[in-house]
Amino acid sequence: MRQNIVITGASSGLGWEMARQFAAMGRNLALCARRTERLEALQQELKTSYPDIQVHVRALDVNDHEQVFAVFEAFAQDFGGRIDRVIVNAGMGKGASLGTGHFEANRQTAETNFVAALAQCEAALTQFRAQNHGHLVTISSVSAVRGFRRAMTVYAATKAALTSLSEGIRVDLLNTPIKVTTVHPGYIQSEINDRVDKVPFMVDTETGCRAIIKAIEKEGDNAFVPGWPWAWMRWVLRWAPLRMLRSLG
C-alpha cells in the first residue's frame, strides 16, 4: 500500500478533494500549494476527522523549481525518508486563441503545466531512485488526445506533452520497482473550469476524484476517467473531424 502520498496543487479543486478522499482511506499526506491558509485549513480538517494519519503542509510555487526539490526533500524527511507516491497535480487553465494578445497567459499555462511538471517529476524520481521504489502519478487530461481551440489550445498542448513525458519515464523505468501512472480526467468541476458555461459530461468534484483515485490505486499505465464516457470517448476524439472539436472547446 502506498501510505505516504505527496499531492501538489492541494489548496483547491482536484488536489483538495483527492487529499480528503485519501485521508478517509487512512493515508498519510504531504500537501503543497501557494495558498498556505487554505492548506492549513485542510490540514486541520483532516487531522480532526482522522487523528491517526499524518498531514504535513508546505508552501510551494511549482514554478520555483529549486523550491520544488527542497519541498519534496523536506516531505521525505517528514515521513522518515520514505515517500510512496507523488501526484503531480498542480496546473492552470489560463489562455486564449493564439495571436489575440494573450501571450503572457498562454506562456504561464505552458510553463506551469509542463516545465513545472517536469521539475516535480524530477524531484519525485530523485527520491524514488534513491529508495528504489515509488509511484509517480501525473494528472493529464482527455484534451491531451487532440488539439483544442481558444483557451484550450495551449492547455491541451501541455497535457499532450505531459502524457508523452510520463510515457517516456515509464519506458525508462520498465522492470523496476518504480511505477508511473497517467490519469486523463474528463470534465470535472474545479476552480480551473468554474467560468465555463457548458461542457458535455461534467461531473462534480467528489465524483470525479473518486474515479481518479480508483485509477491511481490500480497503478495502470494510462486511465481515462470517469470511465463513462471518457474510456471510449477518447477514441471518438482521436478520429473526430475538426468541426466536432469546435463544440468541445
Question: Which residues are identified as catalytic?
Answer: 155
Matching residue, cell 527542497 = 70
| Listed residue (105, 106, 86) closest to 30, CA to CA | 86
Q: How many CB atoms lie within 10 A of CB 240?
A: 15
Alpha-carbon distance 70 to 77, whole Å? Answer: 11
Question: Which residues are CB-neighbours of 57 under 8 A, at least 6 positions away?
Answer: 10, 30, 31, 32, 36, 39, 40, 42, 43
φ and ψ at residue 55, rounded to 5 degrees: -135, 110
